[in-house]
Amino acid sequence: MKYTQLGRTGVKVSRLVLGTMNFGPQTDEADSHAIMDAALASGINFFDTANVYGWGENKGRTEEIIGNWFAKGGGRRDKVVLATKVYGNMGTDGEVWPNHDKLSAVNIRRAVDASLKRLQTDHIDLYQFHHVDRLTPFEEIWQAIDVLVQQGKILYAGSSNFAGYKIAQANEAAARRGSFGLVSEQCLYNLVERRAEMEVIPAAEDYGLGVIPWSPLHGGLLGGVLKKQAEGGRRASGRAADALNDPATRAQLQSYEDLLDKHGLAPGEAALAWLLTRPGVTGPIVGPRTAEQLDSALRAVELELSDEVRTGLEEIFPGPGPSPEAFAW
């Protein structure tokens, strides 16, 4: 496994991030523990989750699964850089109370204590804001975060799904307080969806944030979906299925799969390897449902894409370019 610094911090994290969103809803506890053991054995030390994972009546379940894994001992917790998130409503028994979500100091204090209990740990390494809270001022957010840092409950703060200007606002507010500010941004970024290159990634680089792409295979579209469909494999669903109904998208994906087939490359592994070449990227989040999917992701870390392949990928999936050139001159 290869490692890099998380943004401007001194902590070292693996170039792949283990995403745990499937733990509970799609992968049972025993298999989830086996995947985490395999990830740790392979050198992956960066685990990402969120308080709402498990979803619906089971929200919080994913953190519980991870906590039970930590409780097995063997140095599991000490070896992991643990990231979770706050924002979604965590009201129980179908109740939705007005202060059980978003980023008020009231909710941050409540949410971090609840996550620590579920995770069976005394601290969270990276506490991420899952979404922008347009009603809570950053001064209040940083006041709450600074208290948690002083208490030893969290070490670093990160953002997720922030616009570039929100990254700037957040870190300028932190600087005024003498706070450390955001150290990472978790954003939607892959070959198909490259809008983050316009402003989000440049802002992250300028402020010293590590970029953590989520959905690196764009819901499975970049994992060889056309070939899998032709062979009767798992079919795309949701937004991926809708995208495949567009003839232009199907043609683009066919060119992508043909290019990689020509060079003997697995589409999913090539898509991950491409992200690992991108400026500012710490590591993409991979969310394996099975041990086999984890093995495939691990191969991407060692995969070197040739200039011919990288040029071909840029031709098939041209990015927008940085702003303002992306929309002006």
Active site residues: 53
Q: How far apart are CA 65 and CA 301, in angstroms?
A: 27
Contacts of 287 (CB under 8 A, 6+ apart): 18, 19, 20, 21, 22
- Sort strands 81-86 and 46-48 into parallel, antiparallel or unpaired: parallel
Q: How far apart are CA 302 and CA 286, in angstroms?
A: 15
Q: How far apart are CA 322 and CA 67, in angstroms?
A: 41
- Among residues 42, 30, 10, the alpha carbon closest in space to that of 18 is found at 42
* 128 three-state secondary structure: strand
**DSSP string of 100-111, one letter each residue:** SSTT-HHHHHHH
Q: How far apart are CA 47 and CA 53, in angstroms?
A: 13
